[in-house]
Amino acid sequence: MAVSKDILLEGIRTGAELTTKQQFRLTMLLCGPAIVAQLASVLLQFIDASMVGSLGANPSASIGLIATTTWLFGGFLFAACQGFSVQVAHLIGANDFKAARQVLRESLTSCIGLSLTLALIGVAISPFLPHWLGGSEDIAADASSYFFIYSLSLPFMQITWLGGTMLQCSGNMKLPSILDVVMCLMDVIFNFFLIFPTREVTVLGMDITMPGAGLGVTGAALGTGLAMAITAGIMMWCVLVRSPQLNLRQDRGSFRPSAKCLKNALGISGPMWLQNVAMRGAHIAGTIIVAPLGAVAIAANNFAITAEALCYMPGFGMADAATTLVGQSLGAAREKLARSFSRITLLSGMAMMTILAAVMFLFAPQIMSILSNDASVIELGAQVLRIEAFAETLYAASIVAYGSCVGAGDTMIPSILNFTTMWIVRIGLALILTPKMGLLGYWIPMCIELNIRGILFLLRIRGRGWMKKALVGGLQIK
């Protein structure tokens, strides 16, 4: 009879010996829902991209233009979640559930405050952002509208992600993934009515008048924002009321952030914020490099990035599992077990992404045709996807290894590695090649950079430095 996930997680905390088979089983039990959550997130991008893509190249380009800036803002929010949820993973690993709940309380105040600040900044810059990024007048208005609504939804995004990471670090991967799928379905429904105008559709041979707001790009932003807001409320109820480990009805505590908790959070999130600025800044620089190539190149670039997400979603799902398993293992002062989980997640993630890379290479035109009906966009996007397929195996190594490092609270060196490869290799080569080769000259450097990054992370994870300390009581791993 197979041992359940909860019993295996309890085994980490209580010092029970876990066989390699049991470790692999626990890894798969945790990464499965995490991959589903990643799939839902990718589908969310596909939905917006394909629905807007049906309107033409310019609406697609308007979203593609500001996509990198939305990643920058979202990166700040996600890093803040990690700063607190990793502490929760360590405390749960140490069997200190009361302290874990106190970290949760303090995270709510801190993260909501951050998201409101970023929302105000986003609203303020939304009229000017498309022009700063080099966008033409024919796409600037839609891009501004999308980013304005996106900015207003940031607090809901923060709450959704905070709730999801807290549940994941407690070992509950299934519920966040279910809610992400529900959010995806809601986004489809909202977009269906908000993007397109009132129109005649044929259902089972009958002509039906389907109402619609006809808001185009603005409707896509509203649909996603509404879906996110509803999901945020449900996610918080699941964490604060229903979670066996984290529901706040079990004891009382202060919501005022303490110096110790903030220091630990900043120790994790601080380097991730710097990395976010550096890497998203590099993505924004990439947008500026690509923008002069025209609407077709911008749309193909954006759609190809969205399509590639199908390939790397197992890597990020495995990274989520690595963060939880490594975090709880180090919280229980079990270095050997943490290293074993790191190795299992790393090899599994690389294998999965290699298989999907082969699929992406073979079916690149078909994948792009889902996102756009523009032949030029499809052809160009398929070319760059096939280039990127040769980077996915080592890209997986960097993604999953980074997840293990985050679970250990080790974020400074990995952030330096990401910064160095992005700016020196990717942007440096792109500045030289893109003017000569067009969009191919941007994606070839991307492929080279991801391979170099993967090698550097493999070297990092081979040593012991990334596991040098856990956060619970300043515990030192020896």
Alpha carbons 100 and 176: distance in angstroms, whole number: 19
Q: Is 464 exposed, middle or buried (0-12, 13-18, 19+ CB in 10 A)?
A: exposed
The pLDDT of residue 3? 64
3-state helix, strand, coil in the chain (%, to 5): 80, 5, 15
What sign for the dihedral angle of Cα 85, 90, 94, 99? negative
- Residue 209, judged by CB atoms within 10 A of its CB (0-12, 13-18, 19+), counts as exposed
- The DSSP letter of residue 426 is I
Given a contact cutoff of 8 angstroms between Cβ atoms, the answer to whether 103 and 261 are in contact is: yes
Q: Answer yes or no: are the C-beta atoms of 60 and 300 closer than 8 Å.
A: no
Angle at CA of residue 158, ends 153 and 164, nearest 5°: 125
DSSP per-residue string spanning 255-290: -SPPHHHHHHHHHHHHHHHHHHHHHHHHHHHHHHHH
Q: What confidence score (pLDDT) does residue 474 get?
A: 40
Q: pLDDT digit of tens for each residue in the chain (478 aa)? A: 556 777 888 888 888 888 999 999 989 888 888 787 777 766 666 666 677 777 777 887 888 788 878 888 998 998 899 899 989 988 998 889 999 999 999 999 999 999 999 999 999 999 999 988 888 888 889 999 999 999 999 999 999 999 999 998 888 888 988 898 888 889 888 988 998 888 877 776 777 888 888 888 899 899 999 999 999 999 999 999 999 899 999 999 999 999 999 999 988 888 888 887 887 788 778 878 988 888 888 888 888 887 888 788 889 889 989 998 998 898 888 889 999 999 999 999 999 999 999 999 999 999 899 878 888 989 999 999 999 999 999 999 999 999 999 888 888 899 899 989 999 999 999 999 999 999 999 999 999 999 999 999 999 998 888 887 554 444 433 3
Task: List the one residue out of 353, 361, 369 whose CA is nearest residue 385.
Answer: 361
This prediction has a pTM of: 0.78
In sequence order, what are the residues at sequence separation of 6 or more whose Cβ sits closer than 8 angstroms to the Cβ of residue 131?
140
pLDDT at 472: 45
Residue 211 backbone dihedrals phi, psi, to 5 degrees = -70, 150
β partners of residue 203: 206
CA distance 67 to 309: 14
How many beta carbons lie within 10 A of that of residue 251, not counting itself? 10
Alpha-carbon gap, residue 13 to 368, rounded angstroms: 46
How is residue 178 written in tokens? 């279910």
Query: How far is residue 21's CA from residue 89's CA, in Å, rounded to a whole number?
Result: 23
CA 403/CA 315 separation, integer angstroms: 9
Residues of 362-384 as b/e, b for ≥16 C-beta within 10 angstroms?
eebeebbbebbebeebbebbbbb
Picking from 280, 305, 145, the residue whose alpha carbon sits closest to that of residue 225 is 145
CB 412 within 8 Å of CB 271: yes
Tens digits of residue pLDDT in 100-132: 999 999 999 999 999 999 999 999 999 999 988
Amino acid 313: pLDDT: 83
Report which of 379, 413, 166 is spatially closest to residue 268, judged by C-alpha positions.
413
User: Among 435, 380, 338, 401, which residue's Cα sits nearest to residue 23?
Assistant: 338
Rounded Cα distance between 193 and 191, Å, is 5
Do the beta carbons of residue 82 and residue 269 sit within 8 Å? Answer: yes
Among residues 313, 270, 318, 260, the alpha carbon closest in space to that of 414 is found at: 270
Q: What DSSP designation does 211 have?
A: E
Identify the pLDDT of residue 283. Answer: 78
In 3D space, the residue among 67, 62, 215, 49 whose CA is nearest the CA of residue 136 turns out to be 62
Instruction: Give pLDDT, residue 256.
Output: 94
CA 79 to chain CA centroid, nearest Å: 10
Query: Residue 337: which H helix or E strand, with range?
Result: helix 335-362
Residue 194 CB partners (closer than 8 Å, separation 6+): 212, 213, 215, 218, 219, 220, 222, 223
pLDDT tens digits, 413-440: 998 999 899 999 999 999 999 999 999 9
The span from the CA of 72 to the CA of 285, in Å, is 12
Contacts of 280 (CB under 8 A, 6+ apart): 68, 69, 71, 72, 75
| 3-state class (DSSP) for residue 386 | helix
Q: What does the pLDDT read at residue 469?
A: 54
